């Protein structure tokens, strides 16, 4: 479902004809340009989508005789379409608005060109219709990387995040992260409005990061690129020391790189998370220090074997 008022506000639309409906039962982030329908072809009519009239559709409507135009528009509005949007600031034919009112279909206008409006509307509808889930953790932007810090309550997630904010990075959400699956391989996270920019520090209470560190210390939304899981140091557990194998976790069926950081007194988690973010960026560019070490080791062993043969 998409709320009409939110749709109008987000895309800066002007209302030419209002409707009694507050929501549209839209399930797909797609639009339709009804040029074929104005020409009389309704075999493959995507009537469940918002109908966008651009310069080509308007030019065709204006070329029709008034009687023909009324008949074509009457048939068009007889279908249960959610709304009509006119692009480029164009004014509708005089027959369009009365027919829209008759069928309770809202008509909107935008000054944006048709292709750009398509892009903006699809992005907005994808955001609205995307699957959502709430996770426990802290989300920050660290050197351009969206880092989701997870772990049990009291392990030090908020303290590490606070140190990262002091070092110039940006907080997105603390404790509660609303995750949105915007595509098959991309997740974004944001904070619920009630606790946005707020952080809980045990022993101090609730602090306002935006008020304390400035507008540059917070971010509304960020992609989730890397998960850093904090856990108390377990002497009996063998932790990864080389990083030759990549570990992943699944969030809403999306694979996200994951690293486990053992926590014990004396470890500076903020610096380690910064290094993890930089190392992640290097891996995306195709460089891995662990693989480089492995390559050097293999070359040295091969050289020694050749020397022994000689």
Catalytic residues: 136, 157, 175, 241
> Mapped to the 3 state alphabet, what secondary structure does the chain carry?
CEEHHHHHHHCCCEEEECCCCCEECCCCCCCECCHHHHCCCCCCCCCCCCEEECHHHHHHHHHCCHHHHHHHHHHHHCCCCCCEEECCCCCCCCCHHHHHHHCCCCEEECCCCHHHHHHHHHHHHHHHHCCEEEEEEEEEEECCEEEEEEECCCCCHHHHHHHHHHCCCEEEEEEEEEEEEEECCEEEEECCHHHCCEEEECCCEEEEHHHHHCHHHECCEEECCEEEEEEECCCCCCCCCCCCCCCEEEECCEEEEEEEEEECCCCCHHHHHHHHHHHHHHHHCCCCHHHHHHHHHHHHHHHHHHHHHC
Rounded to whole angstroms, the Cα distance separating 225 from 92 reads 45
Rounded to whole angstroms, the Cα distance separating 169 from 164 reads 6
* Nearest alpha carbon to residue 177 among 247, 230, 251, 231: 251
Query: Which neighbouring-strand residues pair with 186?
Result: 183
Token pair of 259 as six digits: 């690293």
Asked if 161 contacts 199 with a C-beta cutoff of 8 angstroms, the reply is yes
């Amino acid at each position: 479902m998409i709320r009409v008022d939110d749709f109008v506000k987000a895309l800066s639309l002007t209302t030419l004809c209002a409707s009694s409906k507050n929501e549209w039962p839209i399930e797909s982030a797609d639009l339709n340009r009804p040029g074929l329908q104005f020409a009389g072809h309704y075999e493959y009519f995507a009537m469940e989508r918002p109908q966008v009239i651009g310069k080509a559709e308007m030019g065709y409507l204006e070329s029709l005789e008034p009687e023909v135009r009324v008949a074509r528009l009457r048939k068009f509005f007889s279908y249960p379409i959610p709304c009509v949007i006119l692009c480029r600031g164009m004014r509708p034919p005089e027959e369009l608005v009365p027919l829209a009112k008759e069928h309770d279909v809202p008509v909107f206008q935008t000054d944006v060109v048709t292709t750009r409006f398509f892009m903006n509307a699809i992005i907005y509808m994808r955001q609205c219709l995307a699957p959502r889930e709430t996770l426990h953790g802290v989300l920050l932007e660290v050197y351009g990387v969206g880092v989701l810090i997870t772990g049990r309550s009291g392990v030090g997630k908020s303290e590490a995040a606070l140190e990262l904010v002091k070092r110039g990075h940006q907080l997105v959400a603390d404790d509660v992260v609303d995750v949105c699956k915007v595509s098959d391989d991309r997740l974004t996270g944001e904070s619920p409005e009630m606790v946005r920019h707020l952080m809980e520090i045990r022993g101090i209470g609730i602090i306002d990061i935006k008020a304390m560190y400035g507008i540059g210390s917070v971010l509304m939304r960020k992609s989730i690129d890397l998960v850093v899981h904090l856990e108390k140091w377990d002497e009996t557990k063998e932790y990864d020391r080389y990083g030759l194998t990549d570990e992943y976790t699944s969030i809403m069926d999306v694979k996200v790189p994951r690293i486990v950081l053992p926590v014990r007194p004396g470890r500076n988690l903020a610096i380690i998370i910064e290094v993890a973010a930089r190392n992640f960026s290097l891996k995306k560019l195709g460089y891995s220090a662990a693989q480089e070490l492995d390559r050097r080791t293999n070359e040295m062993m091969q050289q020694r074997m050749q020397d022994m043969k000689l």
